[in-house]
Amino acid sequence: MTATPSAPLFDRLVIIGPGLIGSSILRRAMLDRGIARELVASDIDPKVCERVRELGIADRVVQDAKEAVRDADCVILCVPVGVIGTVAAQVAPAMKPGAILSEVGSTKVSVINAVLPALASRPDIAFVPAHPMAGTEYSGPDAGFPSLFENRWCLLLPLENTPPDAVARISAMWEAMGARLRTMTPEHHDRVCAIVSHLPHLLAFTICGTADDLADETRSEVLDFAASGFRDFTRIAASDPTMWRDIFLNNREALLEMLDRFMADAQAMADAIRKGDDTIIVDRIARGRAIRRTLIENHQA
Amino acid sequence: MTATPSAPLFDRLVIIGPGLIGSSILRRAMLDRGIARELVASDIDPKVCERVRELGIADRVVQDAKEAVRDADCVILCVPVGVIGTVAAQVAPAMKPGAILSEVGSTKVSVINAVLPALASRPDIAFVPAHPMAGTEYSGPDAGFPSLFENRWCLLLPLENTPPDAVARISAMWEAMGARLRTMTPEHHDRVCAIVSHLPHLLAFTICGTADDLADETRSEVLDFAASGFRDFTRIAASDPTMWRDIFLNNREALLEMLDRFMADAQAMADAIRKGDDTIIVDRIARGRAIRRTLIENHQA
Ligand SMILES: NC(=O)c1ccc[n+]([C@@H]2O[C@H](COP(=O)([O-])OP(=O)(O)OC[C@H]3O[C@@H](n4cnc5c(N)ncnc54)[C@H](OP(=O)(O)O)[C@@H]3O)[C@@H](O)[C@H]2O)c1
Ligand SMILES: NC(=O)c1ccc[n+]([C@@H]2O[C@H](COP(=O)([O-])OP(=O)(O)OC[C@H]3O[C@@H](n4cnc5c(N)ncnc54)[C@H](OP(=O)(O)O)[C@@H]3O)[C@@H](O)[C@H]2O)c1
C-alpha cells in the first residue's frame, strides 16, 4: 500500500453492485486511502446494502443508484454483464460533468454496445471499460477480499474517444490494487476470454450435467469416486448461474467459434482413440503439457 | 499407523514399477512395518532402481523382475496399464505357490483380460485387481509420498475365483495405508472412471491443443491471461502422456461412450446459447452447482 501525502486518485468513488468484484475493490480502497477520499456503495438489493454496512467496507451506502452517483468523480459498474447497459442508462444522467464511468464486465463487445446509447447525450462522461482477470467461484459482498487483484491482469479497453487522462486514472487505480495492466480491443478481448475462461466454464458445466444424466447407481458412484480430474471441473462449475448465463449470451459469437474448434479437436481425439493411433494421442497429450510448462514459466499456474 | 505386536500382513512384498503409485506404497510401508517384513522394489529402468536405492524406500532393489518376485507372498504391479499383462506373464512363472498377485492399473476390463492368460497355468496364484483412486500430475519414484492414499477410495475388483482370504489381505493393506474400500465389477469400474477421470483428462488435453492452434498472437495472450478456468485444465493436462495414452486405449469403449454423451450435451448447450434460451442455460449451470454441493457434502472437494 502506497503512502499518500498527495490528494487521492478520486475524491468520491462509487461502486454499483458490491458483490465479489465490487466488494474487493471497496475492501482494497478502504485499506489504501490513496485511492479515494470517500467510498460509496450501491446495490439494487436492500439486503446487500445492509450487509455492506455491517461489513463496514464503504464510507456510505446509498441504495438508489442515481442518488449514489451524485457528485462522484468515478462510478464503477460491478453488476452482472446482462444489466450493465441498463444500470449505465440509469446513472449516466445523474453523473456530474466530466466524471468517469467504468465497468468490470467479463465480456466487452456487447457490454460496450449496451452502454454507448446511455452516453450519447453525455459526451462529457469518460467511459473506460475494464476487465480484472481475477475471481473465485463465490459471489456476493462476503466473497470479496482486498488482495483479489494482486498480481492478476486487468485488461483495459479504452474507446477511440476515451480521454487519455481518464484511462490514466483508472490504470492508476488498478495498479494501486496490485493488478498488471494490458490494453486491447474489445473484439480481441472477447476471443481471448472465450478460450481462456468462457469455454472452460462451459465444458465444466456440461460434464457435470453429463454425469448427472447417468443412471442413478452410476451417478452416486460418480459423486463418491470423483477423482481429481472431475473435482477440478466441479470447482469451476460451482460459479454463479446468472453471471455465466450472461457471459455466454453476451460473448456468444466468440464462444461458439471456440466451441466449434474444440469439438472438432475432441472428435479428432476420439477418432485417434477408436483407431488406436498412438502418435496422434501422445502428440495431443504432449501439447497440453507444453502449454502447462509455459504457464508455469509465466507464473500463472 | 497401527501398533503391530503380531506378524506383519506380508512377509515379503514386491513392488514392480516404483513410480508415483508404487513408491507411495513403499514409503507408507516403510513407515508402517505392520504391512510387510521385507519390501522389495523392481523396475525395468536401472536409473529408477538406483534412485529407489538412494531414496532408501525399499529394503532391497532387484532390477530383474523374475528374480525380485522370488519367495514373495505378494507382488503388486504398479507399471503403466499397457504393460501390466506383459509384466504379469514375466513374473507369474517365478512366483511361489499360493502367492498373491495384485495391480493398481487405472483401467480394469482390458488389464484383467491381459493378465488372465499369464495365470492360466498357475491357478494357485490369487489375482486381486485394485485401483487406488489417488494420484497427482507427477510421476516417477520422486513423486510419491506416504499419505497419498489417505482418505481416498481404493476400488477392489476381485474375480469370481479370487480366494476371499487374498482379497482380505489386500484390503487390510490398503486400509493400513488409510484408504477406504469399495468392491465392484471391472465393467462398472471402467464406466465410472470414464466419466469421473478419463473424460475430464481427455477434455483438458484437448482444450490445451485447441488453444495452441490459435493464431500466434492470441496464443501468447492465452498464456498470459489464462484465467482460473484454463489454469485448472492445464493442471490436469500436465499428466504423463504414456500413462494417459494407455488409459485411453485400454478404456476405449466406455470412454468413447461418455465422450459421445458429453458431445451431445455440449451441442445442446451451444444450441441454447445460439438461440438465447435462458432456461436451458441456467438449468445446466445449476446442475453443475448441485453436483458440486453433493461433492462437498461427501468430503471429496
Ligand atoms: N466473478 C468473477 O470471477 C469475475 C471476474 C471478472 C469480472 N467479473 C464481472 O464482474 C461483475 C460482477 O461479478 P461478481 O462476481 O462480483 O458478481 P456478484 O458477486 O453477484 O455481484 C454482483 C452484484 O451486483 C448486484 N446487482 C445486480 N443487478 C443490479 C442492478 N441492476 N443494480 C445494482 N446492483 C445490481 C447484485 O445484487 P443481487 O445479488 O441482488 O443480484 C450483486 O450484489 C460481472 O459483470 C462479472 O462478469 C466477474
Ligand atoms: N498417476 C495416477 O494418478 C494413478 C492413479 C491410480 C492408478 N494409477 C496406475 O498406476 C500405475 C502406475 O502409475 P504411476 O503414475 O505410478 O506411473 P509412473 O510414476 O510412471 O511409474 C511407473 C513405473 O513403472 C516402470 N515401468 C514401466 N514399464 C515397466 C516394465 N515393463 N517393468 C517394470 N517396470 C516398468 C516405469 O519405469 P519407466 O519410467 O522407465 O517407464 C516407472 O518407474 C499405472 O497403471 C496407472 O494407470 C495411476
Say yes or no to pLDDT of B14 above 50: yes
Give Cα A195 distance to the centre of its chain: 15
Q: Give chain B positions within 8 Å (CB) of A192.
A: 218, 221-222, 225
Q: List the 178-237 stretch of A: residues with Cβ below 8 A of B.
A: 182, 184, 188, 191-193, 195-214, 218, 221-237
Query: Under a CB-based contact definition with an 8 Å cutoff, are residues A236 and A201 in contact?
Result: yes
Distance from C-alpha of B276 to C-alpha of B292, rounded to nearest angstrom: 25
Cβ of A79 less than 6 Å from ligand 1: yes
Q: For atom 2 of ligand 2, which residue has the closest CA?
A: B135
Cβ of B193 less than 6 Å from ligand 2: no
A279 interfacial to chain B (CB closer than 8 Å): no
Say yes or no to pLDDT of B275 above 50: yes
- Best of B133, B183, B208, B213 to disrupt the A interface (most A CBs within 10 Å) is B208
* Residue ranges of domains in chain A: 10-184, 188-297
SS3 state of residue A207: helix
Q: Test B267 with A265 for CB contact under 8 angstroms.
A: no
pLDDT digits (tens, 9 = 90+) for B205-252: 898 888 888 766 666 777 777 655 677 777 777 778 888 999 999 999
pLDDT at B229 (0 to 100): 63
Q: Give chain A positions within 8 Å (CB) of B256.
A: 270, 273-274
Q: Test A200 with B229 for CB contact under 8 angstroms.
A: yes
Cβ of B21 less than 6 Å from ligand 2: yes
Query: Under a CB-based contact definition with an 8 Å cutoff, are residues B269 and B281 in contact?
Result: yes
pLDDT at A212 (0 to 100): 80
Mean of pLDDT values over B273-284: 94
Could you give the count of Cα atoms lying within 13 Å of B298 in the half-sphere of its Cβ?
A: 20
Q: Which ligand is nearest to the CA of A26?
A: 1
Same fold, B10-184 and B188-297: no
pLDDT at B186 (0 to 100): 96
B248 interfacial to chain A (CB closer than 8 Å): yes
Cβ of B80 less than 6 Å from ligand 2: yes
SS3 state of residue B182: strand
Query: Under a CB-based contact definition with an 8 Å cutoff, are residues A51 and A143 in contact?
Result: no
Q: Give chain A positions within 8 Å (CB) of B202.
A: 266, 269
pLDDT digits (tens, 9 = 90+) for A39-98: 999 999 999 999 999 999 999 999 999 999 999 999 999 999 999 999 999 999 999 999
CA distances from A258 to A209, A236, A290, B179, B238 (A): 20, 18, 20, 41, 22
Q: Give chain A positions within 8 Å (CB) of B230.
A: 195-197, 200
Q: Give chain A positions within 8 Å (CB) of B132.
A: none
pLDDT at B6 (0 to 100): 79
Count Cβ–Cβ pairs < 8 Å, chain A vs chain B.
Answer: 298
Q: Across the strands, what pairs with A102? A: A76, A128
CA distances from A237 to A80, A193, B272, B284 (A): 17, 17, 18, 10
The alpha-carbon gap from A28 to the nearest alpha carbon of chain B, in Å, equals: 21
CA of B207 relative to ligand 2 center, distance in Å: 25
CA distances from B151 to B131, B174, B180 (A): 14, 10, 6
pLDDT tier, B53 (very low <50, low <70, confident <90, very high otherwise): very high
Q: Which ligand is nearest to the CA of A142?
A: 1
pLDDT at A220 (0 to 100): 72
Pick from B236, B270, B282: CB nearest A241: B282
B277 interfacial to chain A (CB closer than 8 Å): no
CA of B253 relative to ligand 1 center, distance in Å: 43
Q: For a pocket test of ligand 2, which of B45, B108, B197 has the largest count of ligand atoms closer than 8 A to its C-beta?
A: B45
Distance from C-alpha of A176 to C-alpha of A9, rounded to nearest angstrom: 10
* Residue stretches of chain A with pLDDT short of 50: 301
Chain B residue closest in CA terms to A266: B206
pLDDT at B301 (0 to 100): 46
pLDDT at B5 (0 to 100): 60
Q: Which ligand is nearest to the CA of B106?
A: 2
Say yes or no to pLDDT of B101 above 70: yes
* Cβ count within 10 A of residue A251: 28
Q: Test A287 with B182 for CB contact under 8 angstroms.
A: no
Q: Test B245 with A285 for CB contact under 8 angstroms.
A: yes
Pick from A227, A278, A284: CB nearest B133: A227
Q: Test B292 with A238 for CB contact under 8 angstroms.
A: yes
Q: Test B267 with A263 for CB contact under 8 angstroms.
A: yes
Task: Domain A188-297: give its CATH architecture.
Answer: Orthogonal Bundle (1.10)
Question: Per the CATH hierarchy, to which homologous superfamily does domain B10-184 belong?
Answer: NAD(P)-binding Rossmann-like Domain (3.40.50.720)
Buried b (16+ CB within 10 A) or exposed e, A100-130: bbbbbbbbbbbbbebbeebbeeeeebbbbbb
A252 interfacial to chain B (CB closer than 8 Å): yes
Query: Under a CB-based contact definition with an 8 Å cutoff, are residues A267 and B263 in contact?
Result: yes
Cβ of B132 less than 6 Å from ligand 2: yes
Mean of pLDDT values over B51-58: 98
